[in-house]
Structure 1
Amino acid sequence: MPVCENSKNKKVKKEPNSTDTKVKQEANTIAAIYDPVLLPPYPDKPGIVRLEFHDTCVDVESMNALRTYMYMGILAVSMDTVLGLLDASNYLDIKGSKKLCVDHLKGHVDIKNVLKVLTAAHNYSINRLKQTALEFIDQEFENVVLEPYWLELDVEILKMLISRDTLCVRAEASIFIAVSNWAQAGMTTDSGKSVSGSEAGDSQSERIKVFENMISEPGLIRLSNMSREELIQVSQTQVVSNSGELRRALYDEAMSRVNQTEGQSKPKRLRNYTANHLSNPEFAGNSMRRYPIYDLKKCEATLHGHSRAVCAIAVCGNDVLSGSGDGTIRVWSSTNNWECYKVLKGHSNSIVALKVYQDKLLSASPDKTICVWEVGTWKHDRVLTGHRSAVCALSICYNDKLCSGSDDGQLKVWNCRTWALERTIQAHSHVIWSLASCREFIISGSSDTTIRVWDSNNWRFIVTLDQHRDEVQALAVSEDTTELYSGSDDGMICVWNTYTWECVRTLDSNKRAILSLCVYGPNKIVSGLGNGVVKVWNSNPLTSDGALTEHTSCVMAVAVFNGKVVSASYDKTVKVWGP
């Protein structure tokens, strides 16, 4: 319990003035709450009164600072101490120090502290500070929700935030993703304390139940404001995969639009949207960045188990999946020290591409087939046949279509609901090594050195991009879908404007083949090189931002996982890179 010592006979050595009067009033306030005569003095300190405060979270440092303030009129306030001082001032009802803390906070609200400031202001009914925090969050919501304290918010404050019409977000799905992240924080209690075992499961289960209830509460998560593309994308998140109620709500919303007649659309309660819809299905729900951006420096884990080269990587919830030349897919658990807890066998040849779509995992192989697996149970669901040559690349369109590219240059289009083959396009004259989705477009990269763009609404050919001088091995699309990144055996990374399809920037990686690419936040890309290096680049300007060098052979695949990067290599390993 915090203890303060105050001298009965202590005198401030300065002339009386208004400040002295105020300090005495504050001292009287504390004396009125805790009567010092009720506790005996210390035996060895005559004249010193002992004050004990029970059942309080006020820290000793804050109490000592307030003691100085009461007797000297001096309070040292900084962002490191202000919240503790505010707690103590409110607990003891010391209005002068409380005002100093509030004034300091109002001038120092930022992305990292605003949620804690809001929580304190709400709990202590400090309305002007609360309004300052809310207005800040309105403008910075998509950055604020990336802070760790977002996962510790209590339900009341969470609902207060997402009910605001003034939130400035790119789309309603940003709200959905933010709340789903909060709901999945099963290793954290509502008070922010770490838990383990069954307690963690209970906390996560309770939060998911709260999330399910929020969907039906008016004005919170507004499914009616989502475009069809947004509904598809949020349906691919892990929390939806694990919740029948959320899947049903999204399905009902989608069906209500199918059944409504022209002119009968639901009335919408809008927010301050900065974009009309989510536009990049490759992020599968990542309309907003859900992970922190680190300065990648070291290998945190090396995953062994494959007997041949690892050629493909995919991320699914807390798991990383790897496909190998040994014909297997391994499922690695990040929450269990990267243990491989499942090995999937269904192909007769290497696995060269993996893609997660809603509750399905899709794998492609030179055995000319695509296998469909159930996420979670990892049961083999079905095999898609139709290619006459090796299947080398996979991508998902915004309109529920799976695209597959093969060794004979064919692009095939599959219906993700029925898994029926709908269309075959002779897209290139040689191998299609890579595919990417950007808004309504599907983009294919080939060993014929070209990139081609297709309209997935009618599969009309749009344009050929021909900057590269060798095989195009990798494609990636920026988070805001304004740029396409391409990597080639010629060692070049090209950046293309996805509205004009002009090449706007290029970079030469010293003739090292670019075999894989992924987008890392809004301003960085990560590449896997033919010399075994994982290279990080700033996207604008296109400059090097570091190299990770522990692989001993070419890096065939890279992906982002919870703010870190995972890479797959011909050296038979998967590596996890972090700060």
Structure 2
Amino acid sequence: MAPAPRRDLLAKEHFAFVFGSAKTQQYTDPAARGPGSHTIRTLAWNPTGQLIATGSADRTLRIWNPERPSPKYSTELRGHSAGIEKVLFNPVRDAELASCSTDGTVRFWDVRSKTCVSRLDVGGEAFTLSWSADGSTMVVGKKDDTLIPISVQSPSSPNIIGNESNGAGRSSYSVSKPGASTYTALTPHPQPVQTNATTFSHHVASPTSPDLHLFATTGDGTVKIMSYPSFDILHTLNAHTSACMAISLAPTGKYLAIGGSDALISLWDTTDWICQRTLSSENGGGIRGVSWSFDGRFLCGACDEQGCGGNGLEIFHAETGESVYTVPTTGVNAGVPAVAWHPSRYWLAYSTTNDGPGSGGPGGLKIVGAGGKEQR
């Protein structure tokens, strides 16, 4: 796949105009059979932004071409026997997808051949994944608050076919076809508190700096910063007054965004670990997911509670904390379970629920910006 073109950075003052004039594309999954039957819980773009994966409560895993919303251009990947909780592409291998499910498995897929290339039984309900920046390590979170590392070994180094700055201080990669990788579950690490979500730092391990940083949100309102692979706690952030449920590191590495059940998103400066500001949506409801735009300047949160989508999906400017635009979402009872920014464009993917009367229309995947020519 050719790398997606780099986009000019968008000024805060122009944001409302761009999103206000952008079309929203609807993607209707043929597996949806009625209200509440097909809630998309998780979204993920591949590294080039030319594919997007969706995982649903009814165990449907689908790969979409964002340029072609018709389901005939999508691919269903079959294998999970229960709801899919998280999907995530390998950051440096554009056709390698991981998914986890309450069926107790983590599956790895080659989306080109449409096959499951590996399945790991993790011995419990898996509900979250995070992948290291170089794609060599994954951490799986289970509902019994156990973290399981997975080693991902490829027969040869990925062939990078594009490597340029995305304008935000971080390189963007496009990668050629992966070879047959091997996946090995390592020693589990039970956690002493409820552990909800994890993410890795952008650091890539090297002989001089072999350890990575792993961030884990907890049910007591803290975020643990751990050294990987030892899982030793380096620092604890007292982030929220109630459970921390979502976490995302800005592409620039400048801020760590933490979403809480208190309906707030807190932004932490990664140089001194001081909270710079908190963001609050008019919709209220616990923050289940947080996503950054490719330039690290805009972010939004997902809330799957009823009514969260009634007033729209708010987008915030990170440096000022201002709400710069609200994406209209249909339905006073609709929730927005998942959001995901495109890796190199100002396109925003999100899902909505369709919980029957008052939901305002069909749920499923929507992408702001994919329905027409991009404006600047």
TM range (shorter): 0.7 to 0.9
Q: Give a deviation string over 1:477-521, Cα, whole Å, max 9, x none.
A: 112212100111201111112232222222232433222211112
Q: CA–CA distance in 2 between the matches of 1:325 and 1:448? A: 27
Query: TM-score, normalising length from structure 2?
Result: 0.72
Q: CA deviation at 1:335?
A: 3.2
Q: Specify the SS of the correspondent of 2:97.
A: strand
1:435 corresponds to = 198
Q: CA deviation at 1:558?
A: 1.0
1:491 aligns with 2:263: yes
1:322 corresponds to = 54
Q: CA–CA distance in 1 between the matches of 2:7 and 2:184? A: 33
Q: CA–CA distance in 1 between the matches of 2:349 and 2:70? A: 12
Q: CA deviation at 1:551?
A: 4.4
Larger RCO (CA under 8 A, 6+ residues apart): 2
1:396 aligns with 2:131: yes
1:500-519 to structure 2, matched below 5 A, reads: 500-510=272-282, 511-519=284-292
Select the residue among 345, 352, 363 that pairs with 1:569: 352
2:167 corresponds to = none
1:355 aligns with 2:88: yes
Q: CA–CA distance in 2 between the matches of 1:453 and 1:428? A: 14
1:157-556 to structure 2, matched below 5 A, reads: 181=3, 293=10, 295-297=18-20, 298-305=22-29, 306-307=31-32, 308-316=38-46, 317=48, 318-339=50-71, 340-357=73-90, 358=93, 359-388=95-124, 390-398=125-133, 400-417=136-153, 418-430=182-194, 432-438=195-201, 439=203, 440-510=212-282, 511-520=284-293, 521-529=295-303, 530=305, 531-532=308-309, 533-552=312-331, 553-556=334-337
Q: CA deviation at 1:570?
A: 2.5
Aligned CA RMSD, in angstroms, stands at 2.3
Q: Specify the SS of the correspondent of 2:19.
A: coil
Q: CA–CA distance in 1 between the matches of 2:297 and 2:187? A: 36
Q: CA–CA distance in 2 between the matches of 1:290 and 1:416? A: 32
Q: CA–CA distance in 1 between the matches of 2:230 and 2:139? A: 14
Q: Specify the SS of the correspondent of 1:296.
A: helix
Contact 1:517 1:526 in 2 (8 A): yes
Q: CA–CA distance in 2 between the matches of 1:490 and 1:325? A: 24
User: For residue 302 of structure 1, what is the amino acid of its counterpart?
Assistant: Q
Structure 1's consecutive aligned runs of 4 or more residues displaced over 4 angstroms after TM superposition are 289-294
Q: CA deviation at 1:565?
A: 0.5
Contact 1:328 1:346 in 2 (8 A): no
Contact 1:326 1:350 in 2 (8 A): yes
Q: CA–CA distance in 2 between the matches of 1:459 and 1:380? A: 30
Classify 1:382/1:290 alpha carbon distance in 2 versus 1 (closer, same or farther; 3 Å). Answer: farther
Q: Give a deviation string over 1:437-466, Cα, whole Å, max 9, x none.
A: 213311112334322111124332112222
Q: CA–CA distance in 1 between the matches of 2:190 and 2:238? A: 18
Between 470-479 and 503-512, the greater mean CA deviation after superposition: 503-512
User: For residue 314 of structure 1, what is the amino acid of its counterpart?
Assistant: A
Contact 1:291 1:563 in 2 (8 A): no
Q: CA–CA distance in 2 between the matches of 1:290 and 1:350? A: 36
Q: Give a deviation string over 1:512-531, Cα, whole Å, max 9, x none.
A: 32222111123111222341
User: For residue 575 of structure 1, what is the amino acid of its counterpart?
Assistant: K
Q: CA–CA distance in 1 between the matches of 2:290 and 2:368? A: 15
Question: Which ranges in structure 2 are unaligned for 5 or more consecutive residues?
Answer: 33-37, 154-181, 204-211, 355-362, 370-374
Q: Give a deviation string over 1:159-208, Cα, whole Å, max 9, x none.
A: xxxxxxxxxxxxxxxxxx9xx63xx67xxxxxxxxxxxxxxxxxxxxxxx
User: For residue 367 of structure 2, what is the amino acid of its counterpart?
Assistant: V
Q: CA–CA distance in 1 between the matches of 2:140 and 2:330? A: 29
Contact 2:300 2:313 in 1 (8 A): yes
Q: Give a deviation string over 1:47-96, Cα, whole Å, max 9, x none.
A: xxxxxxxxxxxxxxxxxxxxxxxxxxxxxxxxxxxxxxxxxxxxxxxxxx
1:280 corresponds to = none
Q: Specify the SS of the correspondent of 2:67.
A: helix
2:178 corresponds to = none
Q: Specify the SS of the correspondent of 1:451.
A: strand
Q: CA–CA distance in 1 between the matches of 2:123 and 2:19? A: 39
Q: Specify the SS of the correspondent of 2:351.
A: strand
Classify 1:463/1:370 alpha carbon distance in 2 versus 1 (closer, same or farther; 3 Å). Answer: same
Q: Give a deviation string over 1:228-273, Cα, whole Å, max 9, x none.
A: xxxxxxxxxxxxxxxxxxxxxxxxxxxxxxxxxxxxxxxxxxxxxx
Contact 1:391 1:405 in 2 (8 A): yes
Q: CA deviation at 1:337?
A: 4.0
Q: Give a deviation string over 1:203-236, Cα, whole Å, max 9, x none.
A: xxxxxxxxxxxxxxxxxxxxxxxxxxxxxxxxxx
Classify 1:424/1:393 alpha carbon distance in 2 versus 1 (closer, same or farther; 3 Å). Answer: same
Contact 1:303 1:574 in 2 (8 A): yes
1:150 corresponds to = none
Q: CA deviation at 1:402?
A: 0.4
Q: Max radius of gyration: which structure? A: 1
Contact 1:299 1:550 in 2 (8 A): no
